Structure 1
Amino acid sequence: MTEIVPTMPAASAVPAAPTPAAGAAGATGAGPVLNPEFDTFLKMLTAQIRNQDPLSPMDSADYAVQLATFSGVEQQIRGNELLGQMLERTGGGGLADLSGWVGREVRAAMPVQLSGQAMRLELAPAPGAESAELVVTDAGGRVVGRHGLGPGAQSIDWAGGTDAEGRPLPEGLYDFEVVSFAGGAEIARETVETYGRVREVRLGPEGPVLRLEGGAEVAPGAVSALREGG
């Protein structure tokens, strides 16, 4: 009677399964951490090898199939995650959805192009303010005008005015801030929201960007109102 001697499959029969994470770690010395799901899969596969029937060991090809299947699923998951990041970066619809804004006017806290025409400014000093002033600065950050305001919401038509020397302000980009005071001290400072016409929508490093007449730029998320161009 022939004696059957149980044998364990040779270690070389189990295909090696280097992962991109492991390979990168070996190359750089400080690569990314192994995917937790893949780590769990390897532990389960190792347990399966240790507990298999020694009289009927699992074929090495089956291990390869399991590894390939897991790798394919992981690749699909990572692809979906990347797609989600791309959609988030472009604001969902991205440039296609925002293309309809070209030629329309958006309202946001942003610089305004002075072109010789009066513009309506809606001003709102901080609650509790006893007085306020409108501070105008040019593109270089230089204060070119100050206008006293009373408490409470109000609106003015600003056509440019003159600088400290009495000279008309040149065309260009200007910022407006409402500075509120109470008890003789400044209590708030807020950039005034104004309207600007959208000339271009482009994709910047942080997502879509609206480029306005005069060169000012604003993120779509900073827009508080949208209207047809006048």
Structure 2
Amino acid sequence: MISPTQSNTATPAPNQSSNAAKTTGLASDFETFLKMLTVQARNQDPLKPLDASEYASQLAQFSMVEQQVQTNDLLSTLGQDLGGGNLDKLGKWVGMDVRAPSAFKLAGAPVTLFAKPDAAADKAVMVIRDREGAIIDRVSMSKTDQKLVWSGKGSDGQPFPAGTYSATLESFDGDKLLSQQLAATYNNVVEAQIVDNKVMLTLESGQVVGATAVTGVRA
């Protein structure tokens, strides 16, 4: 029985060079095995042909080697995607202001909130909640508006304490609630990481959102 030749490659350098060396060595074994199997099939004795079970066994070895080569190529590609290249992309998120549906920080200045009322609504209300979820303010919006600048002050004109708040746009048809949606606002990105092959952003408000939820970016 013909078995794949073993690689005598010297100890590779770390990281990508190591992966490349392993893949190259296995690919070389794969090519050698294929050539030897082809030569054996061509030069077998017609009077004593290769036993079918032995030939099937060698084909199985051939398939295993081929699959290992493909697996190594896939792992190498994933390593590059999740390595330096993607880390560089992740670093570009940090420090940027991104617009996404999330809680937000109030620090003495008005906050711009983005949300579009339901198309069938005849009125809309932006409901502001504090960190504990208690409603502290309700601001009416036109059904054609898509953003609201919230002053951060109560009906008495006094500013609310600095902290984390959230806003939900409620759309109504008469007294019937049609929909509720978390308003989007700009937050600074303090961390970016890859979770389950998705880019996740940690915002200054403490919220974690997926990069696909971002609808605006500014310096």
TM-score range with shorter-chain normalisation? 0.5 to 0.7
Residues 1:118 and 2:116 are matched in the alignment = no
Q: How many Å separate the matches in 2 of 1:139 and 1:76? A: 53
Change (3 A) 1:128 1:96: same
Residues 1:70 and 2:45 are matched in the alignment = no
Q: How many Å separate the matches in 1 of 2:50 and 2:58? A: 12
Partner secondary structure for residue 205 of structure 2: helix
Aligned counterpart, 1:128: 120
Question: How many Å apart are 1:220 and its aligned residue?
Answer: 0.6
The correspondence of residues 26-37 of structure 1 with structure 2, limited to 5 A, is none
Aligned counterpart, 1:169: 160
Change (3 A) 1:178 1:83: farther
Partner secondary structure for residue 125 of structure 1: coil
Aligned counterpart, 2:13: none
Q: How many Å separate the matches in 2 of 1:208 and 1:218? A: 9
Residues 1:221 and 2:212 are matched in the alignment = yes
Render the CA deviation track for 1:102-145: whole Å, top value 9, x for unaligned: 22111111111112221122343211311111111233333222
- In the alignment, structure 1 segments of 5+ residues that lack a partner are 1-12, 16-51
Q: How many Å separate the matches in 1 of 2:158 and 2:109? A: 17
Aligned counterpart, 1:43: none
Q: How many Å separate the matches in 2 of 1:183 and 1:87? A: 55
Aligned counterpart, 1:103: 95
Aligned counterpart, 1:142: 134
- TM-score by length of structure 2 reads 0.64
Question: How many Å apart are 1:76 and its aligned residue?
Answer: 2.6
Aligned length: 176
* Alignment-mate amino acid for residue 193 of structure 2: R
* Native 8 Å contact 2:127 2:167 kept in 1: yes
- Percentage of pairs with the same residue: 29
Q: How many Å separate the matches in 2 of 1:162 and 1:67? A: 75
* Alignment-mate amino acid for residue 208 of structure 1: V
Change (3 A) 1:68 1:167: same
2:179 to 176, 181, 188: 188
Q: How many Å separate the matches in 2 of 1:208 and 1:154? A: 27
Q: How many Å separate the matches in 2 of 1:87 and 1:190? A: 38
Q: How many Å separate the matches in 2 of 1:107 and 1:66? A: 56
Render the CA deviation track for 1:27-61: whole Å, top value 9, x for unaligned: xxxxxxxxxxxxxxxxxxxxxxxxx9995142687
Question: How many Å apart are 1:157 and its aligned residue?
Answer: 2.4
2:144 to 132, 152, 155: 152
- TM-score by length of structure 1 reads 0.62
* Root-mean-square deviation (Å): 3.6
* Alignment-mate amino acid for residue 152 of structure 2: G
Q: Which deviates more, 201-210 or 218-227?
A: 201-210
Q: How many Å separate the matches in 1 of 2:62 and 2:115? A: 62
Change (3 A) 1:220 1:87: farther
* Native 8 Å contact 1:201 1:209 kept in 2: yes
Q: How many Å separate the matches in 1 of 2:131 and 2:80? A: 34
Partner secondary structure for residue 202 of structure 1: strand
Change (3 A) 1:113 1:86: farther
Partner secondary structure for residue 71 of structure 2: helix
Question: How many Å apart are 1:80 and its aligned residue?
Answer: 4.5
